[in-house]
Amino acid sequence: MKIALIGYGKMGKTIEQIALGRGHQIVSIVDINNPEEIHSDNFKSADVAIEFTTPATAFNNYMQCFAAGVPVVSGTTGWLDRVGEIKEMCEKEGKTFFYASNFSIGVNIFFALNKYLAKIMNNFPAYDVKMMETHHIHKLDAPSGTAITLAEGILENVDRKERWTLETAEKATDIPIHAIREGEVPGIHEITYESDVDTISIKHDAKSRAGFALGAVVAAEFTAGKKGFLGMDDMLKF
């Protein structure tokens, strides 16, 4: 498969290695220093573009991919206030877009576990819930996209919770998310339910970026040739 990379930072470089290892070709690399590459014939020849850039630049990259007729797989976080526009373009204009706040298979198993635990906890109001996420010091957004997805999984299932908040709970109906930025940590997410008598925690700890990158390449393989707005639930069967 011919892959274009948009963003050649920590994820872009890891994805390149994994894609080459799976027999794919990298036909174009667009980074902050060569934005014009996105208009090149090499870019347009790609079966799919894999986009990992920044919260501020991702949406414009998606528009450029759509204009070039290249399907997009993206994991960039911190831009989801505009996801409705992308969904509409997929539905009404036949564009192709695959998004995941976290491409790791392990994290997606953790998402399912989180929802299962939240369903149980809906019946046990003695337990309050909080979350913690730890990432490297270069991360631009907080809370992480993964933490927001986890919070949404709790909100769908625990009736006594109404929204997530960063750091402090203002009301009993809030789920507080504590965001820590430390060293070069690839990503840790922990959910804790606490009662007066005990604590129950579930935790995912990424050992490296390899799991995120492999998931993104597998998603690219899944996306090529398809139409519409796609996500991990379309690709994985639990």
Ligand X SMILES: O=C(O)C1=N[C@H](C(=O)O)C[C@H](O)C1
Ligand Y SMILES: NC(=O)C1=CN([C@@H]2O[C@H](COP(=O)(O)OP(=O)(O)OC[C@H]3O[C@@H](n4cnc5c(N)ncnc54)[C@H](OP(=O)(O)O)[C@@H]3O)[C@@H](O)[C@H]2O)C=CC1
- Binding site membership for (S)-2,3,4,5-tetrahydrodipicolinate: which residues? 136, 145-146
Residue selected from 175, 212, 214, 218 as contacting ligand Y according to rule CB under 6 A: 212
Alpha-carbon torsion 22, 24, 26, 30, what sign? negative
Stretch that binds ligand X, among 41-49, 140-148, 165-173, 227-235 (CB under 6 A): 140-148
Q: Are 151 and 131 in contact (CB under 8 A)?
A: yes
Whether residue 138 lies in the annotated active site: no
Residues 195-214 that bind ligand X (CB under 6 A): 212
192 counts as binding ligand Y under rule CB under 6 A: no
Binding positions for ligand Y, 12-41, rule CB under 6 A: 12, 30-32, 35
Burial 120-156 (b: 16+ CB within 10 A, else e): ebeeeeebbbbbbbbbeeebebbbbbbbbbbbbbbbe
Please, which residue, 64 or 101, has the CB nearer to ligand X?
A: 101
CB atoms within 10 A of CB 234: 14
| Token reading at 170 | 């203002």
Q: What is the DSSP letter of 179?
A: E
User: Which of 95, 135, 189, 204 is an active site residue?
Assistant: 135
DSSP state of 180: E
Residue ranges in contact with ligand Y by CB under 6 A: 6-12, 30-32, 35, 52-54, 57, 61, 75-78, 100-103, 212
Q: Which residues bind ligand X (CB under 6 A)?
A: 77, 101-102, 135, 139, 144-146, 187, 212
